[in-house]
Chains A and B, each alone.
Chain A
Amino acid sequence: EADIYQTPRYLVIGTGKKITLECSQTMGHDKMYWYQQDPGMELHLIHYSYGVNSTEKGDLSSESTVSRIRTEHFPLTLESARPSHTSQYLCASTEGGPGQPQHFGDGTRLSIL
């Protein structure tokens, strides 16, 4: 059973606020990912990390930032939230390598008023 946790599950907040979405995994996976998904759309990769102190931007441009100070923790931060940031954010991790799928958290549904 995969153990990857995201908090909060739901967040409704006003424009201009600073937001941090938390993601933690207990599997010791080196590779971690953040996806953004809107209803009926594909998952868009916005950030990924191959290990501690490694972060890369994904294929979808995002105004968010990430950090990877510890293997198990991969938080995503929005410095100043806007209504266009309203979406679902999914965190995932994997061992990497052949046959190793990603394990996903249950997501954070973010609404910016």
Chain B
Amino acid sequence: DQQVKQNSPSLSVQEGRISILNCDYTNSMFDYFLWYKKYPAEGPTFLISISSIKDKNEDGRFTVFLNKSAKHLSLHIVPSQPGDSAVYFCAASEYNFNKFYFGSGTKLNVKP
């Protein structure tokens, strides 16, 4: 059973606007959450992460929000740029950081 879910396969946003990508999880033992970005023909690259003891982490245009009670996290990109167009994967790991569980990805298209 899939423990990390991204229910939106795709998202289209106008340049300069906010992009919000969502992720839900089922395992309450997850202790760390990460977002990766993937361009075609390349491997995923790490974008931003958040520990379960926080509810927000910000890095430049990227902010991740965590709602533990709802088992939900989101990635906000403000302002969105055409170069942000990629597939975004949400991932989670338990406290031992031995294994990572990935969602199926959301393809973001930022239109100029």
Contacts and interface: CB of A to CB of B under 8 A. Distances in A.
Interface of A: 4, 6, 9, 31, 33, 35, 40-43, 45, 48, 50, 58-59, 90, 92, 94, 96-107
Contacts of A40: 9, 104-105
B98 A43 contact: no
Given A99-B51, A104-B43, A104-B44, A45 B97 contact: no
19 contacts: A9-B41, A41-B104, A42-B4, A42-B103, A43-B44, A45-B99, A45-B101, A48-B99, A50-B98, A98-B97, A101-B34, A101-B46, A102-B46, A102-B91, A104-B36, A105-B43, A106-B42, A107-B41, A107-B43
A96 B97 CA distance: 6
Interface of B: 2, 4, 9, 32, 34, 36, 41-46, 49, 51, 89, 91, 97-105
A90 B43 contact: yes
Nearest to B43: A104
Given A42-B104, A98-B97, A102-B91, 20 more contacts: A6-B43, A35-B102, A40-B105, A41-B104, A42-B102, A43-B44, A45-B99, A48-B98, A58-B99, A59-B99, A96-B98, A97-B97, A99-B51, A100-B97, A101-B36, A101-B46, A104-B44, A105-B43, A106-B43, A107-B41
A40 B89 CA distance: 11
Contacts of A107: 41-43
Interface class of chain A by DSSP: loop
A48 B98 CA distance: 9
Q: Enumerate the 8 nearest inter-chain pairs by beta-carbon distance, A residue then B residue, closest first.
A: A104-B43, A101-B46, A43-B102, A42-B104, A42-B102, A106-B43, A104-B44, A105-B43
